Amino acid sequence: YGLYLKGKEDARQRSYVKAAEAFGSCLKQDTNYLPALVEMAALANRRADTASALGYARHALSIDTYEPGANYQFGLARAALGHHSDAKEAFSLAALSPGWRSAANTELAKEYLREKLYDRALASAKESLCSNARNLDALQLCACVQRLRGEAAGADAELAALLGLDPLNHFARFEQYLRGKARAKDFTALLRN
């Protein structure tokens, strides 16, 4: 357990190599230590190693099928590989947990948006906002879906909320440009790198 805590602290400090070493040492002592498996899947997803992420997530899910962190990591890896139905199922299971609800619903909204299921994408993004009203990704998804559905008033409200939380948000200014509410110069003027 001490190695796991060290790994968590290293990950919090963004020392991902040290975190992976600590979690790996933890798994050498107990190959079925569920929290370390989930963390290793998260680190693998972070470095875009979907094969490793799937391996760790599958191992974790073989221990507890309903483990929300493992389902979330499994969903991210499957989505990266283009297996969207597996990803949606995993995100739906992760969304059952209050701690993962906002993030999982945001990812579900992205999946539905990819499929052009705008009503479901908007519903998932709104559900995400119920868990975390400051979820910028969910607000961005809401604004994008409203624009795609041709609902100008809804898109304006979402963009206003987004700019209220993050006044320098490039996404919001680009959405305004796409809708003809701003010039390209207004969007590019604040880009610095």
What does pTM read for this prediction?
0.90
- Mean pLDDT score of the chain, rounded to an integer? 94
| Nearest in space to 20 (alpha carbons), one of 39, 2, 1 | 39
More confident residue, 189 or 163: 163
Measured CA to CA, the distance from residue 124 to residue 105 in angstroms comes to: 5
Q: What pLDDT was estimated at residue 25? A: 94
Give 30-39's long-range contacts (Cβ < 8 A, gap of 24+): 32/59, 32/63, 33/4, 34/60, 34/63, 34/64, 34/67, 34/70, 35/4, 35/69, 36/3, 36/4, 36/7, 37/63, 37/70, 38/67, 38/69, 38/70, 38/73, 39/4, 39/7, 39/8, 39/11
